[in-house]
Amino acid sequence: MAEVQPGLGLAHQAAGNSGLTLATYPTPGTLRRPPFGLADVVVILGAIALLTALARIGSGTLVAFVPQKHLIPHIDLAPRFLPYYAARSTLRMFVALIWSLLFTFAYGYAAAHSRRAQRVLIPLLDILQSVPVLGFLTITVTGFIALFPGSLLGLELASVFAIFTAQVWNMTFSFYQSLRSIPQDLTEAASLYNLSLWERFVKIEVPSSMVGLVWNSMMSFGGGWFFLAASEAISVGNVNYTLPGIGSYVASAVLQKNVPALVWAAITIAVVIVIVDQLFWRPVVAWADKFRFEQSAAASQPESWVYDIIRSAQVLKLVARAWAPVAEVVNRVLSRITRVHPSFQRGRGHAIGEHAFNAALIVALVLLSAYIAHFMLVTVGLKEVGHAFALAAATMTRVLVLVAVATLIWVPAGVAIGFHPRLARALQPVAQFLASFPANILFPFATMAFIAFRVPINFGCILLMALGAQWYVLFNTIAGAQSVPTELREMTADLEVRGWLRWRRFIIPGVFSSWVTGAITASGGAWNASIVSEVVTWGSSTLAATGLGAYITEATGKGDGAREALGICVMSLFVVTINRFVWRRLYAFSQTRFSL
């Protein structure tokens, strides 16, 4: 959050931190400032260009699409089509990001503020995170297509939903963790000022979570690139669906063994990542820096030339002034209807609701257990279930090795970047590029290298999984390090606390809860990445590892719904069990021992 100024009430300071503007008076400098300048011209032209591009690209989602008559978009591997394909994919990524943010705020808020909801929502989040993208596509593609018969929009929504499932879980975990880690003095001050639920949300909870949410959103956005090929070149039940995009372009190039096309695709994605970083993520990081919680200003702050232009544009200030009365009315209405009544919280209805909720939960668990037992005994058989569990144990070993190695490598790097803003400005684009670059583009080259050097795929797939999952540890560590108040860093420097003592007493406690969030999401991401990492293909050559990811991929390709469902259920069971008995206990430990 921004620097706390003495003499101002919590509501006024929090309103400034949350982006809600208060009444200000013009200074002589602002009175002499010209009404419009170069920044306004840039902003207006940029807005026109953005709207034009959205209209042009969005029109492609409404074309005719009839799978039965083979009216399916064709992917041309000519390089001149790459800018359009990249634009279509980028639009899907941002639409999925918007829906991910909305889901994050609703789901994370409910899980953090209701113990009854938390007991269901957090385990459910573990399960949803463990379900691979292929599992969601298998269930949803037919339904989305049926919603918009004869139009490509249904398949577009299915692709966006698949990208959404690759982005949203990490963001939700981050927001939930931030809400549970809000400093106690802020919570007490909110009660003292009798803030409504809406006022707490916009003035305390969202600002407190903003730094971590921004960095995890960047990581999630990069993770979406990893599964872009699976979400644009969809194969479900022996039926292939293709959407124009950079992911389907890569899938076609791999199938045709077209190395030049892969190189052009890699260059295009690299350019898109750099453009998105400069025009979107850097301005957002610079804007989010004002939400840091500290008593003294940071020595150096993130910078962005786009953010500077936006702040200088007078036209946006005029729009903000015009919107201010409407925003004030909305805030008053939402504050009034979300006012907290202590008598309601202490009523008997809470106890009655608790018992009803527990009874409904027990009934649901009994019915689910009966269905699972019938599925294992009748549909697939116990022998197949045992085989799936053995494959899951092999994949679990790879996941644990990946998380351990990623922690040893990226926690020190993340702390260095988070504690040094100048280093962050230099390395953030590099980290963002490495995290965003879809590692599965490298899989064909890795397949050729594995074949040439006779590298066992059972070991090589760990490297492939790490390319997509290790960045969760890095980005969460960076966010945790940046959230540590500057005055604490200055105090340890003044006391000359160095070496292992500094790590043990200051750094590890400061970033531990963020590391747990990163480890949880990296573990879930690694399980999900095993779907595309344990089976790699180059033309007609295929290498398959011994693991649950390869099992699910093979079952999906054959249209074997029973074994695909078995693999997904076993993967979900392993992920939920590990989260419950390992990561959740570490998370509870971080809340009780290392809360700010």
pLDDT at residue 465 in the model? 85
Longest dimension (CA), the chain: 81
Coil, strand, or helix at residue 347? coil
Instruction: State pLDDT tens for residues 565-580.
Output: 888 888 888 888 888 8
| Burial class (CB within 10 angstroms; exposed 0-12, middle 13-18, buried 19+) of 258 | middle
* DSSP H or E segment with residue 65: strand 64-65
pLDDT at residue 361 in the model? 61
- Rounded to 10 deg, the angle between the 259-276 and 246-255 helix axes is 160
- For the CA atoms of 259, 471, 546, 237, the dihedral, rounded to the nearest 10 degrees, stands at -70
Question: Running along the chain, 596 residues long, what does each successive block of 10 average in pLDDT?
Answer: 42 43 47 64 80 75 59 75 90 92 91 81 77 70 77 83 86 86 79 84 87 83 76 68 84 82 87 88 86 58 81 83 85 81 46 58 69 70 87 92 92 87 75 71 77 83 83 84 78 78 84 86 82 77 84 80 82 84 82 69
pLDDT at residue 64 in the model? 62
Asked if residue 222 lies in contact with residue 93, where contact means CB atoms within 8 angstroms, the answer is: no
d(CA 542, CA 444): 10
Closest by CA to 106, choosing from 196, 9, 21, 206, is 206
Closest by CA to 522, choosing from 197, 242, 129, is 129
CA 406: distance to chain centroid?
Answer: 18
CA atoms within 13 A on the CB side of 220: 31
Say which residues have a Cβ less than 8 Å from residue 57's Cβ, sequence separation at least 6.
Answer: 84, 87, 88, 91
Say which residues have a Cβ less than 8 Å from residue 268's Cβ, sequence separation at least 6.
Answer: 82, 83, 85, 86, 246
d(CA 156, CA 146): 12
Structural domains in the chain plus CATH codes: 10-340+381-593 (1.10.3720.10)
Q: How does 455-464 read in b/e, with b if 16+ C-beta sit within 10 Å?
A: eebbebbbeb
Q: Torsions phi, psi of 359, nearest 5?
A: -65, -45
Could you give the angle at the alpha carbon of 337 between the alpha carbons of 335 and 339, nearest 5°?
65
Structure tokens at 97: 């990001």
CA 133: distance to chain centroid?
Answer: 14
Closest by CA to 162, choosing from 213, 110, 104, 99, is 99
pLDDT at residue 239 in the model? 67
d(CA 540, CA 261): 17
